[in-house]
Amino acid sequence: MFSRSESTLTERDVLEALKGVKDPDLGRDLVDLGMIKDVKIADQTVSLAVNLTTPACPLKAQIERDVRAALEARLPAGLTLQINMTADVRGKGIRESGDIPGIKNVIAVGSGKGGVGKSTMAAAVAHGLKSYGARVGLMDADVYGPSIPHLVGASGRPMAIGERIQPIEASGLKLMSMGFLLEPDKAVIMRGPMLHGIMTQFLRQVDWGDLDYLVIDLPPGTGDVPLTLAQSLPLTGAVVVCTPQEVALLDATRAITMFRQLKVPVLGMIENMAFFDMLGYLRERGGPQARKLAEGREYFDASGDERVYLFGRGGARRKAEQMGVPFLGEIPLNIVLRETGDEGKIEQAFAPGSPARPYLLGMVEQLAAQISIQNIKTPRMPKLEILS
Ligand code: ADP
């Protein structure tokens, strides 16, 4: 404990008392990371702000507890502590901004193959980050099958102001997609160079404004688009969505290998459709007989588990471990996700009481943490230069 009395206590003492308190994810002192701000000492009160690197920080409560405990242990007794938890999303590098002016982080969402829920997860990541107060854009780079406008219920034609294309805004997200530029039933037939041109336009000519996160929904597989993107700008990292089956995991492995070859950090794997919440479903949607069964749990209790692992269990987590990639979470097969997606109201999957909400928010927090870790770990990724 400090021998000083409250009247001579200084900001330095407060920072000194906080030495050793670390951000558990980043593994470094909060003080060294510049996360302790606005220290004020007045009227028996010490107030300060802990400025997190993302509003979606999964360890917010723990960090607040650690700061409080350190101050209580080391400052004179009898002081009131006022800790404000704030957040400013950081980008890469010293300038703390990304390669596109105003955009701090660019995150690509990919998958080894189609149909695993990649677009649904990309939209969920965008909405999830926004729900914590971040400024988010969602770019649909799935040019051959643009489904983002449909998922988030957005339509319209992007207007140009001068040279700048204005993104479509819907439920607090800034959006750009081939879907806004095409007639609904038109197929996209494009060669590599055209694709490159479109990606570059989407990235550079769209007036994204200031964004904490730009989420990009990639086409499935390991084609031209990820390569083009990796060549165009230093991505913060990529997320790979997969389902639990062996075949799907093989494809996911390929996607991870591709990102590594492209020198794009892999932020983690999401296991979508990980299990089916049978009881939850019956309770919500079953007929009277099924609901009774669910309430009585006559069929399900014996297993001790209400989850039905339709495609096998734990495969993606194991694969992530094997590949040395963070595992970001399991998202169940859930009727609310399917329906809200089909109805263009995917944001409602986050509504309080939605059975998908806790899983989605958990995944988004893990991803936000990995983005922060990545930014601290590798200050600036080089643009891709050599490809054999
Ligand atoms: P991809 O982008 O990989 O082709 P989509 O995101 O378009 O896949 O999803 C394919 C279909 O699966 C959509 O109808 C979507 O609503 C549904 N879907 C995706 N994830 C889930 C989930 N966790 N629970 C229920 N349905 C899902």
- Determine contact, residues 54/89, Cβ cutoff 8 Å: yes
Q: Compute the distance from residue 116 Cα to the ligand 1 centre, in Å.
A: 6
Q: Is the dihedral of CA 90, 199, 227, 189 positive or negative?
A: positive
pLDDT confidence of residue 282:
78
Between the CA of 178 and the centroid of ligand 1 the distance, in Å, is: 19
Residues 36, 149 within the same domain:
no
List ligand 1's pocket residues with C-beta within 6 A.
Answer: 111, 114-120, 147, 220, 272-273, 331, 333-334, 337-338, 341-342
9-34 core/surface letters (b: 16 or more CB in 10 A; e: else): beeebbeebbeebbbebbeebbbebe
Residue 49, both tokens: 């702000």
| CATH code for position 74 | 3.30.300.130
For position 288, what pLDDT does the model report?
83
Q: What is the pLDDT along the chain (388 residues), one digit of tens a residue?
A: 454 555 688 999 999 999 999 999 999 999 999 999 999 999 889 999 999 999 999 999 999 999 999 999 999 888 899 999 999 998 875 344 457 888 999 999 999 989 999 999 999 999 999 999 999 999 999 888 899 999 999 999 999 898 899 999 999 999 999 999 877 666 666 667 788 888 889 999 999 999 999 999 999 988 888 888 888 888 999 999 999 988 888 999 999 999 999 999 999 999 999 998 777 777 777 788 877 777 766 555 445 557 888 888 888 999 999 999 999 999 999 888 999 999 999 999 999 988 899 999 999 999 999 999 999 876 554 555 444 4
Identify the residue whose C-alpha is closest to ligand 1 atom 23.
333
Q: Which of 109, 116, 118, 120 to mutate to test the pocket of ligand 1 (most atoms within 8 A of CB)?
A: 120
Tokens of 288: 């009277």
Q: Report the b/e string of 278-314 with b at 16+ CB within 10 A.
A: bbbbbeeebeeeeeebbeeeeebeeeeebbeeebeee
Residue 271 tokens, joined: 């296991």
CA distance 253 to 248: 9
Kindly state whether residues 25 and 82 are assigned to the same domain: yes
Same domain, 323 and 236: yes
Q: Is residue 305 part of a domain?
A: no
**Ligand 1 center–CA 121 separation, angstroms:** 8
User: Which residue type does 165 have?
Assistant: I
> Do 262 and 320 meet the contact criterion of CB atoms below 8 Å apart?
no
Return the SS3 of 261: helix
DSSP conformational letter for 5? -
Inside any domain, residue 170: yes
List the structure tokens of 361. 């928010």
Residue 249 sits in a domain of what CATH number?
3.40.50.300
Cross-strand bridge partners of residue 195? none
Domain count, the chain: 2
Q: Are 384 and 99 in contact (CB under 8 A)?
A: no
Q: Which two tokens stand for residue 133?
A: 């107060």
Q: Are residues 349 and 240 in the same domain?
A: yes
- pLDDT the model gives residue 1: 46
Residue of the CA atom closest to atom 16 of ligand 1 = 338
Range of the structural domain that residue 343 is part of: 106-275+310-372
Residue with CA nearest ligand 1 atom 12: 117
Q: Would 302 be classed as within a structural domain?
A: no
Measured between alpha carbons, how far is 212 from 102 in angstroms, rounded to an integer? 8
Give Dmax over CA atoms of the chain in angstroms: 75
Q: Are residues 270 and 128 in the same domain?
A: yes
Asked if 225 and 171 sit in the same domain, the reply is yes
- Give, as one character, the DSSP assignment of residue 139: E
Evaluate whether residue 340 is within a structural domain: yes
Distance of alpha carbon 51 from alpha carbon 72, whole angstroms:
20
Question: How many angstroms separate the alpha carbon of residue 120 from the centre of ligand 1?
Answer: 6
Nearest CA to ligand 1 atom 20: 117
Asked, for residue 382, whether it belongs to a domain, the answer is no
Angstrom distances, CA of residue 50 to CA of 22, 27, 254, 328 = 12, 16, 40, 25
Could you tell me if 42 and 149 lie in one domain?
Answer: no
- Residue located via tokens 């950081």: 90
Q: Is 248 part of any domain?
A: yes
Residues in the chain: 388
Q: What H or E segment, with its residue span, contains residue 240? A: strand 237-242
Residue at 283 is within a domain: no
Atom of ligand 1 nearest to the CA of 339: 16
CA nearest to 96, candidates 218, 215, 240, 212? 212
Q: CB-based contacts of 238: which residues, under 8 Å, 6+ apart?
A: 107, 108, 109, 110, 218, 226, 259, 264, 265, 266, 267
- Could you tell me if residue 237 is inside a domain? yes
Q: What is the DSSP string of 322-341?
A: HHT--EEEEEEE-HHHHHHH
Could you tell me if 79 and 116 lie in one domain? no
- Kindly state whether residues 18 and 58 are assigned to the same domain: yes
Distance 243 CA to ligand 1 centre (A): 11
Last residue of a domain, one of 56, 87, 118: 87
- Are 332 and 274 in contact, with CB atoms under 8 Å apart? yes
Q: Provide the whole-model pTM.
A: 0.90
* Residue 326 identity: P
Residues 16 and 72 in one domain: yes
- Is the same domain home to 161 and 114? yes
343 shares its domain with 223: yes
pLDDT at 378: 67
Nearest residue (by CA) to ligand 1, atom 19, is 117
- Tokens 């200031």 — which residue? 210
- The gap from C-alpha 198 to its chain's centroid, in whole angstroms, comes to 25
Calculate the alpha carbon distances from 13 to 3, 68, 240, 301 in Å.
Answer: 11, 14, 45, 56
Q: At what angle do helices 288-296 and 278-285 cross, to 10 degrees?
A: 140
